[in-house]
């Protein structure tokens, strides 16, 4: 099963390689990994998407916790949470398809961030399903380049009823 | 007053109470070596190879319980430490390894003798540091010792660029260490401990499996008390030998691939396993799916990743063995009214039958020296009280089987990584820690050649370590596997040429003795022990001898091969011919 794990780490050099080395050394998968500073510049947050059965996921979280630079490990999959990813797609549609590309971008609340005589670059943010759907629709339009950030995830806060 | 990085290094070692370090000089660590030249507080033991230095520090740490310290130069000096560091890492040995590094300005430039040792050792250290600024040095060293010695111990490496050892700053020793992301658990969960105690009271066929964690935590007394009060037999892993007295009537000896018949049978037939400070290594469990099918498992370990890594666990308890056993004892003592002897009668008598059916044994032939006989004689003559180091392979397994360790920190062996060439330098380190104790390396002719250069260290430092070489002219364990599982195709396991170890010893200024007949073994050992110098004892042993019992890799541990069966098969074959 796929799990999204959020890891708070000390923002020091070498931490990323400790984490990625742990995954490669022990034969765990990384589907995506994103890193960035938190509000506290001494702490970074990594969002790791990985797959494995319960035994493997338990080992992954324990092994992550064991690393000296890891402050906190949260398996987001166990919590109510929001996941987002951003992709940028550069498409080169035929003249006839140009309007369709823009229309689809609008439907998916994408933005055109660059355009040329032959191409549009569209930025789109969403969860996995939305991005997959958009990519499917863009494929026939002629994708030239495609980049994605990897997922980030955050836990939802419950709302207290008055 | 401002101190240089090199001076801070020395001051920090003094603060940590380090008296001996092991190492080898080189270009970028000369600032430090210059200070060591006439330093009275910290003495460096010069080995003949950096790998030897790390194993020596490791041996020192295992027998003393104090961290071993290593100092080497950059590049090849640093990369030569990797096997030693990985050895210590697998066996949870506290080490602090200082490697020199090229000046910070040159890092990343492929400078002369530059190696990314922080990158290289990342997966085999508990943690490692690159000290980029002399202002951070004292804190880094303090943290390194703290990390190495707390929680599950392990090796820590500090990479010291040359300009950091020459740079100057105020020396401030940080009295307290607090690392917010590192907080080992010592006291186990009380509720879980209660559950475990409850299981012990219910169990009909319980056993304890004791691992290296018993020795590291110093919980051997508590373990003995627990076993005696509740009358539970104790099997040990290789690393756990000495954690419970090997001569105790509740001892089952070692379990696993070359474990005793009775330890493996007891494990497989138990209804409760109390695993204490061990990690269910594949050499212990054999086929995991067939391991102890009827047993509930209580697993006590300080490292949460050890729990549920290899086997299912019913009651996990994360924490220090000593703390947890104490807590468990206080519960069980209350429930104890001397009823245990009665309750265990059937189980212990079953184990007694297993013990009687297949004790550890070997067959003597005329005057041929059997390797097990040598180990037995060493055991008898030293009254089981020597510090024994081993190399890896048959010599190691025979030691584990035939030397009964009654006390902790007496067996020093590379269990997890299985490093040939470990035992001799480790013996040197152990002798440094305890100059007055008898230290013997039980070696094979293959392994001893992997760090034989350390004879020079032993001779120069006047360390009377003894090396018993079980000389069979083969890589015996490899040969054994080839005989049993590869149709006797002895591919590259025959060494063909083994040096004259007596002459080698003499060439280094040590003493060499040789025995070729069984009758010579005892007098030779006695003679060697009288000599106050390093001695190589070259025992020309039966090369055909194999380690039995043996569980073939991948089989459950109650499917064992025995020598008797082999002998019978041979007889039959001869009759047919």
> What pLDDT score does B574 carry?
67
CATH superfamily of B190-357: TPP-binding domain (3.40.50.1220)
Closest Cα to residue A9, out of A77, A73, A78? Answer: A73
Is pLDDT at A79 greater than 60 in this prediction? yes
- ipTM here: 0.91
B573 band by pLDDT with thresholds 50, 70 and 90: low
Is pLDDT at A132 greater than 60 in this prediction? yes
Q: What is the tens place of the pLDDT at every residue in B110-156?
A: 999 999 999 999 999 999 999 999 999 999 999 999 999 999 999 99
Mean pLDDT for all residues in chain A: 95
A146 band by pLDDT with thresholds 50, 70 and 90: very high
Is pLDDT at B339 greater than 90 in this prediction? no
Residues of chain A with CATH 3.30.70.1150: 82-154
Quote the CA–CA distance of B68 and B144 in Å, as a whole number: 12
Is pLDDT at B568 greater than 80 in this prediction? no
Quote the CA–CA distance of B370 and B376 in Å, as a whole number: 10
Closest Cα to residue B90, out of B563, B337, B413, B562? Answer: B413
Q: Which CATH number fits domain A2-79: 3.30.70.260, 3.40.50.10540, 3.90.1150.10, 3.20.20.70?
A: 3.30.70.260
Is pLDDT at B466 greater than 70 in this prediction? yes
Between A17, A21, A70, which is nearest B181 by CB?
Answer: A70
Domain A82-154 coded CATH 3.30.930.10 = no
Beta carbons of B181 and A59 less than 8 Å apart: no
**B303 in reach of chain A (CB within 8 A):** yes
Q: Which CATH number fits domain B371-546: 3.40.50.970, 1.10.8.590, 3.40.50.1580, 4.10.520.10?
A: 3.40.50.970
Residues of chain B with CATH 3.40.50.970: 2-170, 371-546
What is the share, in percent, of chain A residues with pLDDT greater than 90?
A: 94
B565 band by pLDDT with thresholds 50, 70 and 90: confident
Q: What is the tens place of the pLDDT at every residue in B357-383?
A: 999 999 998 899 999 999 999 999 999
Question: Best mutation site among B304, B311, B313, B318 for testing chain A: the one with the most A CBs within 10 Å?
Answer: B304
B482 band by pLDDT with thresholds 50, 70 and 90: very high
Is pLDDT at B179 greater than 90 in this prediction? yes
> What pLDDT score does A161 carry?
75
Beta carbons of A18 and B122 less than 8 Å apart: yes
Is pLDDT at B577 greater than 70 in this prediction? no
Residues of chain A with CATH 3.30.70.260: 2-79
Please check whether residue B557 is in contact with residue B256, taking contact to mean a CB–CB distance below 8 angstroms: yes
Q: Which residue does chain A place closest to B129, by CA atoms?
A: A14
Active site residue B7: no
B336 band by pLDDT with thresholds 50, 70 and 90: confident
The top-level CATH class assigned to B2-170 is alpha beta
> What pLDDT score does B576 carry?
63
Beta carbons of A71 and B309 less than 8 Å apart: no
Active site residue B309: no
Residues of chain B with CATH 3.40.50.1220: 190-357
The values of phi and psi at residue B66, to 5°, are: -100, 155
Contacts of B309 (CB under 8 A, 6+ apart): A59, B279, B280
> What pLDDT score does B547 carry?
97
Question: What average pLDDT score do residues A50-68 get?
Answer: 96
The two structure tokens encoding residue B295 = 């047993």
Residues in chain A whose Cβ is within 8 Å of chain B: 9-10, 14, 17-18, 21-22, 25, 55, 58-59, 62-63, 65-66, 68-71
């Amino acid at each position: 099963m796929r799990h999204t794990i959020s890891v708070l780490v000390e923002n020091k050099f070498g931490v990323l390689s400790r984490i990625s080395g742990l995954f490669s050394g022990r034969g765990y998968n990384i589907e995506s990994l994103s890193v960035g500073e938190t509000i506290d510049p001494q702490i970074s947050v990594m969002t790791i998407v990985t797959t494995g059965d319960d035994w493997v996921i338990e080992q992954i979280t324990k092994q992550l916790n064991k690393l000296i630079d890891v402050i906190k490990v949260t398996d987001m999959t166990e919590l109510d949470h929001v996941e987002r990813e951003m992709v940028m797609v550069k498409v080169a549609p035929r003249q006839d398809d140009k309007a369709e590309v823009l229309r689809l971008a609008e439907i998916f609340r994408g933005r055109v961030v660059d355009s040329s005589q032959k191409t549009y670059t569209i930025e789109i943010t969403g969860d996995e399903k939305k991005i997959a759907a958009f990519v499917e629709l863009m494929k026939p339009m002629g994708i030239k380049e495609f980049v994605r950030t990897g997922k980030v995830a955050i836990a939802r806060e419950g709302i207290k009823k008055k | 007053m401002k101190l240089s990085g090199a001076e801070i290094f020395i001051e920090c070692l003094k603060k940590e109470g380090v008296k001996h370090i092991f190492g080898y000089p080189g270009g970028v660590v000369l600032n430090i070596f210059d200070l060591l030249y006439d330093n009275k507080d910290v003495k460096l033991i010069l080995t003949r190879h950096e790998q030897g230095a790390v194993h020596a520090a490791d041996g020192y740490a295992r027998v003393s319980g104090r961290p071993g310290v290593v100092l080497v130069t950059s590049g090849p000096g640093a990369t030569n430490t990797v096997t030693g560091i990985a050895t210590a890492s697998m066996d949870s040995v506290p080490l602090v390894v200082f490697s020199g590094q090229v000046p910070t300005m040159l890092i990343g430039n492929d400078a002369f003798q530059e190696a990314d040792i922080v990158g290289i050792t990342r997966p085999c250290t508990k943690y490692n540091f690159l000290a980029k600024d002399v202002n951070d040095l004292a804190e880094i060293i303090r943290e390194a010792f703290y990390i190495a010695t707390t929680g599950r111990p392990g090796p820590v490496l500090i990479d010291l660029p040359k300009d950091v050892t020459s740079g100057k700053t105020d020396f401030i020793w940080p009295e307290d260490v607090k690392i917010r992301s590192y907080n080992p658990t010592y006291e186990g969960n009380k509720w879980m401990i209660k559950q475990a105690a409850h299981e012990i009271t219910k169990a009909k066929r319980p056993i304890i499996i004791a691992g290296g964690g018993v020795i590291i935590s110093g919980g051997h007394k508590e373990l003995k008390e627990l076993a005696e009060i509740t009358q539970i037999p104790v099997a040990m892993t290789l690393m756990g030998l000495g954690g419970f007295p090997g001569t105790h009537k509740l001892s089952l000896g070692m379990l696993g691939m070359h474990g005793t018949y009775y330890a493996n049978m007891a494990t497989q037939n138990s209804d409760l396993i109390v695993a204490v400070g061990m990690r269910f290594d594949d050499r212990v469990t054999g086929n995991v799916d067939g391991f102890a099918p009827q047993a509930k498992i209580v697993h006590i370990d300080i490292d949460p990743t050890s729990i549920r890594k290899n086997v299912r666990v019913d009651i996990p308890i994360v924490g220090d063995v000593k703390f947890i056993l104490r807590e468990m004892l206080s519960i069980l003592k209350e429930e104890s009214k001397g009823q245990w002897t009665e309750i265990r009668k059937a189980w212990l008598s079953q184990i007694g039958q297993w013990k009687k059916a297949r004790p550890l044994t070997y067959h003597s032939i005329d005057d041929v020296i059997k390797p097990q006989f040598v180990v037995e004689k060493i055991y008898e003559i030293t009254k089981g009280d020597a510090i024994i180091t081993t190399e890896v392979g048959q010599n190691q397994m025979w030691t584990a089987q035939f030397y009964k360790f009654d006390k902790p920190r007496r067996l020093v062996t590379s269990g997890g990584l299985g490093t040939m060439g470990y035992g001799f330098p480790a013996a040197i380190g152990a002798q440094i820690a305890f100059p007055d104790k008898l230290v013997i390396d039980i070696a094979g002719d293959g392994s001893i050649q992997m760090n034989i250069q350390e004879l020079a260290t032993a001779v120069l430092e006047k360390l009377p370590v003894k090396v018993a070489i079980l000389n069979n002219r083969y890589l015996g364990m490899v040969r054994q596997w080839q005989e049993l599982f590869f149709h006797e195709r002895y591919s590259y396991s025959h060494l063909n040429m083994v040096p004259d170890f007596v002459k080698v010893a003499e060439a280094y200024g040590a003493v060499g003795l040789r025995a070729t007949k069984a009758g010579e073994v005892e007098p030779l050992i006695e003679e060697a022990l009288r000599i106050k110098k390093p001695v190589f004892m070259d025992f020309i042993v039966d090369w055909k001898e194999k380690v039995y019992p043996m569980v073939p890799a991948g089989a459950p541990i109650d499917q064992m091969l025995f020598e008797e069966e082999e002998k019978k098969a041979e007889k039959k074959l001869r009759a047919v011919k």
